[in-house]
Amino acid sequence: MADHHARIIIAAPAAEVFAFIANPMNLPRWQPSLREAFREDEARIRVIGGGVGAQGVAAHARFLVEHEARRLCWAAEAGIGCAGDVTVTETPDGAEVALELRLGPRAERPEAVRRWTGDAALDIAAAMQASLEAVRRHCEGAVQGVTLVSGGTQSDPSTAPLRDSRAYGTSVEPDRG
């Protein structure tokens, strides 16, 4: 597997940044390659990403949150060859988010990246940076309570709850803190 690394500093408390990242229902908000994410149980999620319309890719993944270490670990189902970690640490300026992505030969091919992201212009480094920038926009906007838009400001629409795919809903409430 090939390792890829990216980091970003976010001007928000590390605990809040980690709470946002660790909630699987928030994945589509910071993973440009994902359209939907659903919790299947305490250790697994189902994600849908890539392409547009019905052309998306669906996968199951192990999704483990280590709250004390502020670390999230995931691994896609067998055969996909994609795993990674996100670690959030406190810094004098807020929080540092470190993203590590491990891709097998099949997942690292340009056509596989294009298929998953739905964007021929994104390579692995650009996709990782786009994810971290999305975390920063959300978390710094949440601290300020607004999202900047052309010509003014508005309330942050990314805080709207996402639906759960399970027939009886979720047993875990999203962090509203």
Look at residue 98 and tell me whether its pLDDT is greater than 60.
Answer: yes
pLDDT of residue 104: 81
pLDDT of residue 65: 93
Q: β-strands 147-149, 94-103: how paired?
A: unpaired
* 172 phi, psi to nearest 5 deg: -120, 120
Question: How far apart are the C-alpha atoms of 7 and 128, rounded to whole Å?
Answer: 9
Q: Is 24 exposed, middle or buried (0-12, 13-18, 19+ CB in 10 A)?
A: buried
pLDDT of residue 46: 87
pLDDT of residue 51: 54
Report residue 105's pLDDT band, with 50, 70 and 90 as the boundaries.
confident
pTM: 0.73
Question: How far apart are the C-alpha atoms of 24 and 47, rounded to whole Å?
Answer: 9
pLDDT of residue 130: 85
Quick: pLDDT tens for 37-96.
Answer: 888 888 889 888 765 444 566 778 899 999 999 999 989 877 677 889 999 999 999 999
Look at the domain 2-159 and name its fold. Answer: Alpha-D-Glucose-1,6-Bisphosphate; Chain A, domain 4 (3.30.530)
Look at residue 170 and tell me whether its pLDDT is greater than 80.
Answer: no
Look at residue 99 and tell me whether its pLDDT is greater than 90.
Answer: yes
Quick: pLDDT tens for 109-166.
Answer: 777 666 666 666 778 888 888 889 999 999 998 766 543 333 333 334 344 344 333 3
Look at residue 3 and tell me whether its pLDDT is greater than 70.
Answer: yes
Question: How far apart are the C-alpha atoms of 113 and 106, rounded to whole Å?
Answer: 10
pLDDT of residue 117: 63
Can you give the residue ranges of every domain in the chain?
2-159
Report residue 26's pLDDT band, with 50, 70 and 90 as the boundaries.
very high
pLDDT of residue 118: 63
Look at residue 167 and tell me whether its pLDDT is greater than 60.
Answer: no
